[in-house]
């Protein structure tokens, strides 16, 4: 699902939060599924998708978004630490 379409699903919630003067927080999102799908989302693509999503969410009224990066073995993890 594209970031534009994804953010569009929350139009009513954005309006409610803005009328209430409360922040709207996307509690958890990621690029695929819990640990991603092998071969589907590499680190560069995941980073670009998350950037696109973050900017889209901000432009539609979200105040915060938490990106779930998973563990070091997660296929979509954009921040893998070297051991």
Residue 11: pLDDT band with limits 50, 70, 90: very high
Give me the residue label for tokens 């709207």: 24
* Domain spans in the chain, listed from the N-terminal domain onward: 3-67
Tens of pLDDT, residue by residue over 33-83, are 555 566 655 667 777 888 888 899 999 999 988 776 665 665 544 554 443
| Model confidence, pTM | 0.68
Tokens representing residue 69 in the block: 């990066």
DSSP conformation class of 75: T
């Amino acid at each position: 699902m594209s970031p534009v379409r994804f953010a569009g699903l929350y139009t009513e919630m954005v309006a409610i939060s803005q009328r209430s003067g409360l922040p709207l927080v996307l509690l958890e999102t990621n690029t695929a599924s819990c640990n991603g799908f092998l071969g589907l989302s590499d680190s560069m693509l995941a980073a670009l998708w998350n950037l696109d999503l973050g900017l889209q969410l901000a432009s539609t009224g979200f105040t915060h978004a938490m990106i779930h990066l998973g563990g070091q073995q997660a296929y979509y993890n954009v921040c893998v630490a070297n051991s």
